[in-house]
Amino acid sequence: MLIKRPKDVKPSEITPLGIYRRRREFVATAGVLALGAVSGMGTKPAIAQDGAKLKGFGKSKFSTTEKANAIKDVSGYVNYYEFGTDKTDPPQYAKKLKTQPWTVVVEGAVKKPRTFGIEELMKMQMEERIYRLRCVEAWSMVIPWIGFEFNKLANLVEPTGNAKFVEFHTALQPDNMPGVRLPVLDWPYIEGLRIDEAMNPLTILSMGMYDEVLPNQNGAPVRLVVPWKYGFKSGKSIVKIRFVEKQPRTAWEKANPQEYGFYSNVNPDVDHPRWSQKTEKRLPAFFANHKTQLFNGYSEQVASLYTGMDLRKNY
């Protein structure tokens, strides 16, 4: 993003996940989560006893049929700037992220503000969504997430007519996040969506991937996934969700408004000021091997959200 350009990335930077897995910690965290998940489910999840597994969720009709990446691509090559700006920093340092206990405050222009414990979120009907993720840096992956539609949570708190946008505040744990010692971004990392974007069925809150609870570096214990937008719109480790009237000022927009707009829809016809967005490399490829598609290939579901808007101005 701000610091690395796609051409600077060497395959050697893609670090095998095995090195970074913290099995014991992982299991300890997941134990509580999985217990919660077993009880409230409408479908019958087969969750392994060790708690780290989140298996048996039905596959959503919104899943792509493209081949998913290997988990090592997804967990070994990561943007999570609170843990450093290098792709291999978060797998190394996100061990320290404290994910227990965890709550998500939902407030603002809603009739029923509420604080959700992570266990409660895990009980909400979940499914597997295999989505393409296209990063603004012109690489992409295909990732099987486990989660539920954001609109389910929104409907529980009942947004009022003043809720025009949704702000997502992510965790700030200065003692555990070496990256926030540097003013790379205005911490905490805040992202935002227009309310109709947030309520679109493609927008999910995810708590797992590849049949397991989310690794810390991928945004444990709960993150957003918005597959038609550049990856940075998908905030990790969410602690607060605010329904607001005014368009939020997001972390990347504050840092560099010329390069990172509020909308950030994947668009091959709108170049990043420093590089083209026409193609992408599907990791672990070294060179571009895919044509980038408008809205990352999700036009059928989301193009109507932008009817009449100039996508060059609203980049």
Q: Does 216 bind ligand MTE (CB under 6 A)?
A: no
Using CB under 6 A as the binding rule, the residues of this chain from 236 to 255 that contact ligand MTE are 236-237
What would the x/- binding string for ligand MTE be over residues 95 to 134, using CB under 6 A? --------------------------------------x-
Using CB under 6 A as the binding rule, the residues of this chain from 51 to 80 that contact ligand MTE are 74, 78-80
Instruction: Determine if residue 218 is left, alpha or beta; phi over 0 gives left, psi from -120 to 50 gives alpha, anything else beta.
Output: alpha
Q: How far apart are CA 294 and CA 296, in angstroms?
A: 5
What Å distances lie between residue 278 and 51, 139, 155, 272, CA to CA? Answer: 42, 11, 37, 10
What would the x/- binding string for ligand MTE be over residues 128 to 167, using CB under 6 A? -----x-x--------------------------------
Minimal distance in Å, beta carbon 70 to ligand MTE? 13
Per the structure block, which two tokens stand in for 30?
């997941």
Using CB under 6 A as the binding rule, the residues of this chain from 185 to 204 that contact ligand MTE are 189
Per the structure block, which two tokens stand in for 247?
């368009």
Q: Does 315 bind ligand MTE (CB under 6 A)?
A: no
Minimal distance in Å, beta carbon 82 to ligand MTE? 6
Instruction: With CA atoms as reference, report the closest residue to 62 among 203, 180, 162, 189.
Output: 203
HEC assignment per residue over 102-159: CEEEEEECECCCEEEEHHHHHHCCCEEEEEEEECCCCEEEEEEEEEEEHHHHHHHHCE
Q: How far apart are CA 20 and CA 10, in angstroms?
A: 19
Minimal distance in Å, beta carbon 45 to ligand MTE? 22
Minimal distance in Å, beta carbon 189 to ligand MTE? 4
Binding site for ligand MTE (CB under 6 A): 1, 74, 78-82, 133, 135, 170, 189, 218-219, 231-232, 234-237
